[in-house]
Amino acid sequence: MRISIVVPTYNEKENVDELMSRIDKVLNGLDYEIVVVDDNSPDGTAERVAELSVRYPIKLIRREGKQGLISAVFEGINSSGGEHVVIMDADLQHPPEVIRELLKVVDSCDLAVASRYVKGGGVEGFPFVRRVISLGATYLARILIPQARKVRDPLSGFFLVRREVIKDVKPAMSRGYKVLLEVLASRKGLKVCEVPYVFRSRLKGESKLGWREILNYVKQLLLLMPDYYKFAVVGITGVLVNLGLMTLLEYLFTIPHIVASAVGIEASLTNNFIWNDVWTFRNRKGGSRLKKYLKYHLSTLVGNASQYLTSQLIYYLLLRESVISQTTGIIVGFIANYLISSKYVWSYNPHLDARHP
Ligand code: GDD
Ligand code: MN
């Protein structure tokens, strides 16, 4: 089979008739199937789709309850058979005629995205506030997920992808809306084409996008960010914990800098360890927590010792200002870590390395 159209539905009874007839018109003569994944819509969408399946090549998957858009789409993909897979909504905001344009370009790329934000594309009837939110969310994705930068509309819910590209994708989220982000983040070097389309306003039924989806979106970004971004963010929280706790101890409880500085450093280490363990490296199984906690101390020992020493020297010999002392210490510790890494761990080898540092 050539093409599978995967359509998630929740309360779209009034839209499915027109959807099927328009898809059929576009793909007339081609070998295709429509896979509808319905989450037990109370309005009777599944019953209507079952009736339509007499007329069109529809495969209907009925699930127990509302389990979320991403999981519906992946369930549809897994039980479809086409060489090319189109993902689209049922509510006609994604005009089926655009599938024709997607098919035209897909031979020269892995993924063809129907895009609102390339020339010729757009949104119809979005109030100003929604437009701003949509653009803001789009930019956020492109900042936090490097693979999303090659797409103008990485949040589009309408795209065509080759099966071999999508078949091994394991989504980080099951609830949540942004299927394309999961595909983009799953691997580097995907070749993406974009085709303009106008996101129509909904004529029938209502959008299921609410606050919960906005929270899910933030959670999805936090999961899909690359490890080194997560590590850097954790490092920044560590600096805040370090300086915050130290200041509190010194100014509120008049604890001397020689103690408060050490407590601040240890608190930041523990903070960083916890977040890196539950977030940055949450997929790395194995090893006891305690052992990793000790290893983390060991691996940052020189950096932390130089941080502490610098902070103490500046404070007791130069100026009695703890935040400045500690901050300078943090910078020195960072540099020490860098030097050790570049001189010792990734040392320069004149016979092997091309350029002199
Ligand atoms: N099976 C299932 N389960 N389907 C669902 C669920 C669910 O939990 N939630 C929503 N759907 C279906 C809807 O019936 C519709 O066909 C489609 O998913 C999209 O839902 P809408 O509520 O209409 O979303 P939207 O219009 O606000 O946003 C869509 O378009 C944007 C632009 O392309 C989504 O696809 C966004 O992700 C996309 O950015
Ligand atoms: Mn919609």
Q: Which domain CATH number covers 139?
A: 3.90.550.10
Angle between helices 69-78 and 179-186 (to 10 degrees): 60
In a domain, 355, yes or no: no
59 by DSSP, 3-state: which?
A: strand
Identify the pLDDT of residue 276: 93
Q: Is residue 82 in a domain?
A: yes
Hey, whose CA ends up nearest to atom 31 of ligand 1? 157
Residue with the nearest Cα to atom 24 of ligand 1?
207
Task: Report the separation in Å between the CA atom of 33 and the middle of ligand 1, taken as the mean of its atom positions.
Answer: 20
Q: pLDDT value at position 206? A: 77
Q: How far is the CA of 36 from the centre of ligand 1 (A)?
A: 13
Which atom of ligand 1 is nearest the CA belonging to 180?
37
Atom of ligand 1 nearest to the CA of 67: 8
Which of 202, 224, 246 is where one domain is finished? 224
65 to 68, 69, 88, 232, 329: CA distances (angstroms): 9, 12, 20, 39, 55
**264 Cβ contact partners less than 8 Å away, ≥ 6 residues apart:** 241, 242, 243, 245, 246, 249, 326
Q: Which of 196, 224, 252 is the endpoint of a domain?
A: 224
Is 200 inside any structural domain? Answer: yes
52 & 181 share domain: yes
Work out which ligand 1 atom sits closest to the CA atom of 134. Answer: 39
Final residue of a domain: which of 209, 224, 239?
224
Per-residue pLDDT at 354:
67
- Structural domain contains residue 350: no
- Are 276 and 304 in the same domain? yes
Pocket residue to mutate for ligand 1, from 63, 177, 206, 220, most atoms within 8 A of Cβ: 177
3-state secondary structure of 112: strand
Position 263 in a domain = yes
Domain containing 271 equals: 227-345
Domain assignment present for 53: yes
220 lies in the same domain as 234: no
- 192 CA to middle of ligand 1, Å? 22
Q: Give the residues across from 86 on adjacent strands.
A: 5, 160
Residue 357 lies in a domain: no
Report the domain count for the chain. Answer: 2
pLDDT at position 1 is 72
Q: Which residues line ligand 1 (CB under 6 A)?
A: 8-10, 12, 37-39, 66, 68-69, 72, 89-91, 93, 155-158, 177-178, 199, 207-209
Judge if 125 and 270 occupy the same domain: no
Residues 22 and 159 reside in one and the same domain: yes
Tokens of 195: 């085709």
Residue 156 and residue 36 share a domain: yes
What ligand 1 atom has the least distance to the C-alpha of 177? 37
The pLDDT assigned to 40 comes to 96
Does 90 share its domain with 153? yes
Are 284 and 303 in the same domain?
Answer: yes
Same domain, 203 and 311: no
Ligand 2 centroid distance, CA of 93 (Å): 6
CA of 180 to the centre of ligand 2 (A): 15
Specify the ligand 1 atom closest to the Cα of 93: 26
Pocket residue to mutate for ligand 1, from 10, 16, 87, most atoms within 8 A of Cβ? 10
Choice from 36, 60, 89, 126 to test ligand 1 binding pocket (greatest atom count within 8 A of CB): 89
In the reported structure, the alpha carbon of residue 278 is separated from the centroid of ligand 1 by a whole-number distance in angstroms of 30
Local mean pLDDT, 10-residue blocks, the chain (357 residues)? 94 96 94 97 96 96 93 96 96 96 93 96 89 92 95 97 92 88 93 96 80 90 94 96 97 96 97 94 84 91 95 95 96 91 77 66
In a shared domain, residues 304 and 336: yes
DSSP 146-209: GGGGG-S-TT-S-EEEEHHHHTT---S-SSSS-HHHHHHHH-S---EEEEE-EEPPP-SS----
State the closest ligand 1 atom to the C-alpha of 155, by its place in the atom list counted from 1: 39
- The model carries a pTM of 0.86
The bound ligand whose nearest atom lies closest to the alpha carbon of 177 is 1
Ligand nearest to C-alpha 158: 1
Give CA separation, 199 vs 91, 130, 184, in Å: 11, 13, 21
Residues 209 and 277 in one domain: no
Residue 282 lies in a domain: yes
| β-bridge partners, 59 | 35
State whether 163 and 293 are in the same domain. no
Q: Best substitution site from 15, 63, 67, 69 to test ligand 1's pocket, by max atoms within 8 Å of Cβ?
A: 69
